[in-house]
Structure 1
């Protein structure tokens, strides 16, 4: 009988399992309190109490409440980045490919719109904290993935741009950063309309790049 995937994965030792359990409880407690009380009203001490850990344990994994917010989202973003670039249809125009990538982020944020607004608010100049490195790694993964899509589109003659792929990738990313904030600013963000608007904005950039769907 063939072994399962779980059988083939290395088993965690007791110390690693305890660490994972604590991180999971802290993350779940932070999510629960951020959603029930609001980010500003929730305290790290309350999060520690709900997670049934000491306040010192919380600070082992996050520097402050802001860092805890990113702890909550980092697992989500890890998965979203993986899925977004794994499902790109290279036959489509570049602007449509990039819109599809960021559509995954819109879907994730739509599920927790209230927290997503706070995440984007707290994101400004976020470079310090135990969760910062992981978050910034995901941002770099996004930019690298976009750069790859741009380079592939250029190689296939889908765009005619003299700018380096990295610069075009940044342009798409910055447009997304503005559009997602505008979308989330609505009392009840409409997912379909948000993604449609994003596609329209990306199409403007695509036309400037001499985009072709061939």
Structure 2
């Protein structure tokens, strides 16, 4: 079982990285926000870079786990894909600082890019598996499930991130209240393009 202090460090790191950016963030600040000694951070992570990669992998894994739980609640691939899209939007809204952090900083170093691509590939694999099941049972009409999975990930991410980046103009509550509209729009556009009916 992972040490609870790692969770505290990750939560503090999200706050500090989101506030200062990766380059300007200091381990001292992360330690202070986490309420631990700086030596405790270095016990778990060799460097700020290693910590960020761990945080990035943790965030992406939580997104994957959330999506998988929602997919597993349904039998129909259409309902599974609708649930996956909804969980994607809700996860980004509920973890807005982490979502912005991933987009802003995940492409910094080559190792960061490699790790991020690996985690995204895992998530795309989940989307693609739902699409293939839909193709096999005649619910989805597509020829390139891998490309469609990429499009779903990109579209859902962009729609919700556009709202998140409007935090200066909108409150967190207003963004959360906009979630059903974002989800409904994505259902209509994404599912409507791969099924016979667009009534979603």
Q: Same fold (TM over 0.5)?
A: yes
How far is the alpha carbon of 1:59 from its aligned partner?
Answer: 8.9
Contact 2:61 2:119 in 1 (8 A): yes
Contact 1:29 1:51 in 2 (8 A): no
User: Matches of 1:99 and 1:183 in 2, distance apart?
Assistant: 20
How far is the alpha carbon of 1:194 from its aligned partner?
Answer: 2.9
The alpha-carbon distance between structure 1 residues 98 and 128, as it changes in their structure 2 partners (threshold 3 A), is same
Structure 2 residue aligned with 1:208, among 171, 193, 196? 193
Name the count of aligned residue pairs: 187
User: Matches of 2:137 and 2:148 in 1, distance apart?
Assistant: 16
Unmatched 5+ residue regions in structure 1?
A: 1-11
Q: SS of 2:20's equivalent?
A: coil
Contact 1:78 1:138 in 2 (8 A): yes
How far is the alpha carbon of 1:99 from its aligned partner?
Answer: 3.9
CA deviations 1:46-102 (Å, max 9, x no partner) are 3356531339927944453xx644533533432331231233223363xx5334213
User: Matches of 1:92 and 1:55 in 2, distance apart?
Assistant: 45
- The answer to whether residue 27 in structure 2 is matched with residue 47 in structure 1 is no
User: Matches of 1:157 and 1:185 in 2, distance apart?
Assistant: 38
Alignment match, 2:157: 177
User: Matches of 1:54 and 1:198 in 2, distance apart?
Assistant: 44
The alpha-carbon distance between structure 1 residues 87 and 31, as it changes in their structure 2 partners (threshold 3 A), is closer
- Mark the structure with the bigger radius of gyration: 1
- The answer to whether residue 80 in structure 2 is matched with residue 97 in structure 1 is yes
How far is the alpha carbon of 1:25 from its aligned partner?
Answer: 5.2
The alpha-carbon distance between structure 1 residues 104 and 185, as it changes in their structure 2 partners (threshold 3 A), is same
- 1:60-209, aligned counterparts within 5 Å? 60-64=45-49, 68-88=51-71, 89-91=74-76, 93=78, 97-124=80-107, 127-129=110-112, 133=115, 135-161=116-142, 163-187=143-167, 188-189=171-172, 190-209=175-194
User: Matches of 2:191 and 2:7 in 1, distance apart?
Assistant: 42
Question: RMSD value over aligned CA atoms?
Answer: 3.5
The alpha-carbon distance between structure 1 residues 105 and 196, as it changes in their structure 2 partners (threshold 3 A), is same
TM-score by length of structure 1 reads 0.67
How far is the alpha carbon of 1:160 from its aligned partner?
Answer: 1.9
User: Matches of 1:106 and 1:126 in 2, distance apart?
Assistant: 27
Structure possessing the higher relative contact order (Cα contacts under 8 Å, 6 or more residues apart): 1
